[in-house]
Amino acid sequence: MILRKAEQSLLEGLQQFPALGLIGLRQVGKTTLAKKVLPKLGNAIYLDLELSSDLAKLENAELFLSSVADRLVVIDEVQRKPELFPLIRALIDQNRRPGRFLLLGSASPELLRQSSESLAGRIKYIELTPLSIPELDAENDLTDHWLRGGLPASFLAGSDELSQGWLDAFIATMIERDLPSLGLPASPSLTGRLLRMLAHQTANVWNASDFGRSLDLTYHTVNSYVDLLESSFMVRKLEPHFINLKKRLVKSPKILVRDSGILHRLLGISGMQALAGHPKLGASFESYCIEQIAGNIGEDRGLTFYRTHKGAEIDLVITHPDMSLTTVEIKYTSSPKLTPNHVSAIEDLNASDNFIITPKGEDYLLRKDIRTCGLGTFLKEYS
């Protein structure tokens, strides 16, 4: 049985905060997780704002929510009714007991703006990421996880074909319905082109001007579209690491498609054989590893990448609370070798720990200060 690591955080958060926000990509399992913990929370009430019957209960929201003030109120798809946030704030200020509201939603700029203005100091957010390696059963094949991604319906599908069909439908729904409802003004055909272009550029440095020219859009418009895709958990911007050196550093972020299953369908990849021969194989593995690390590394650690204009580069730099650094280079090879650019970057950063992650996962010292291992081994040490 797969166990979601966010379950304990959710239960603890409801014991500490008047409101808890459970956010994440569509179909990531927010509703399933909420319904799983509801029996442990006593007399809770659940509202799904995609149901007209539940929307009707909130026609006079103040009257209804006041009448259930002694219960935990779970509101699913809360971004569909942003006018609730000021009311929830007022009700919390009347009674600040923990565990009054559990708000579920796919984040959008509007949702984040409303909640930050209305519920500051009253809410804690938990992001539910797709299934990650530490959440999988021991018998689960990590190759399947990389190929299919971590969205539960895709990963747990009975075959690769069923997984691909589900992902294709998911992407179509995001393009045609969900992203427009979250505020993306582009046509579905333009959004599809943008997503496919982002997939082909995953793990590369973001260049809005190049994308704008290809899509016949302005630099600012493309950036606004990608910002919304980031807010809806489709893509991640990995910011560059800056240090006080007299070197010219790359200042633009890297762009990554977050879920590997979505990435592979946008690339038209249908199986491991197709992935193994695809020119984006290495970029896919890098994106997958970074996303797994990002979802398990801890909120108190910063994630960046390092690159100079002369070519010194590290795929991932982890900044710890004490400001010490760990570097991670990701290589799709069974026999990694140090390059001058890699060595130069390690010398620049003077990190306390340096890793090279490979798919085969043999664990050994490549140099006295550089350790080679698999992704699973790395996560066990740093989760």
- The CATH number of the domain holding residue 97 is 3.40.50.300
Domain assignment of residue 356, yes or no: yes
pLDDT of residue 245: 62
Quick check: is 266 in a domain? yes
> Are 282 and 146 part of one and the same domain?
yes
Rounded percentage of the chain residues whose pLDDT exceeds 70: 96
Q: Are residues 255 and 137 in the same domain?
A: yes
Residue 139 has pLDDT above 70, yes or no: no
Query: Residue 218's domain spans which residues?
Result: 133-382
Residue 1 within a domain: no
pLDDT for position 234: 96
In a domain, 333, yes or no: yes
Q: Which pLDDT tens digit goes with each residue over 320-367?
A: 999 999 999 999 998 999 999 999 999 999 998 999 999 988 899 999
DSSP-assigned beta bridge partners for residue 204: 255
Question: What is the per-residue pLDDT for 114?
Answer: 62
Are the C-beta atoms of 99 and 72 separated by less than 8 Å? yes
Q: Are strands 123-127 and 19-23 parallel, antiparallel or unpaired?
A: parallel
Residue 180 sits in the same domain as residue 75: no
Distance in angstroms (rounded) separating the CA atoms of residues 169 and 88: 35
pLDDT of residue 70: 93
Please say which residue of 127, 148, 180 terminates a domain.
127
**CA atoms of 365 and 356, how far apart (whole Å):** 10
Q: What is the pLDDT of residues 265-285, one digit of tens each?
A: 999 999 999 999 999 999 999
Say yes or no: 23 and 102 in one domain: yes
- For residues 218 and 242, membership in a common domain is answered with yes
On whether both 111 and 161 belong to a single domain, the answer is: no
- At 244 the pLDDT is 63
Question: Number of folded domains in the chain?
Answer: 2
Q: Judge if 202 and 328 occupy the same domain.
A: yes
Residue 120: predicted pLDDT? 81
d(CA 153, CA 142): 16
Last residue of a domain, one of 84, 103, 127: 127
Output the pTM of the full model: 0.93
Q: Would you place residue 6 in the very low, low, confident or very high pLDDT band (cuts 50, 70, 90)?
A: confident
Give the pLDDT mean for 197-211.
96
- On whether both 158 and 52 belong to a single domain, the answer is no
Over residues 167-185, mean pLDDT: 94
In a domain, 299, yes or no: yes
- Is the same domain home to 236 and 345? yes
76 or 250: whose pLDDT is higher? Answer: 76
Could you tell me if 40 and 173 lie in one domain? no
List CB contacts of 134: < 8 A, sequence separation 6 or more: 5, 296, 379, 383
Any domain includes 42:
yes
297 found inside a domain: yes
pLDDT tens readout for residues 304-332: 999 988 888 999 999 999 999 999 999 99
3-state secondary structure of 218: coil
User: What is the rounded average pLDDT for all residues in the chain?
Assistant: 91
Which of left, alpha, beta for 118 (phi over 0: left; psi -120 to 50: alpha)?
Answer: alpha
Conformational region of residue 237, where left means phi above 0, alpha means psi within -120 to 50, and beta covers everything else: beta
Of 103, 127, 151, the residue that ends a domain is: 127
pLDDT band at 20 (very low <50, low <70, confident <90, very high): very high
Looking only at the bridges linking them, the beta strands covering 353-357 and 370-373 are parallel
What is the C-alpha to C-alpha distance for residues 298 and 189, in angstroms, rounded to an integer?
37
Who contacts 196 (Cβ-Cβ below 8 Å, separation ≥6)? Answer: 266, 267
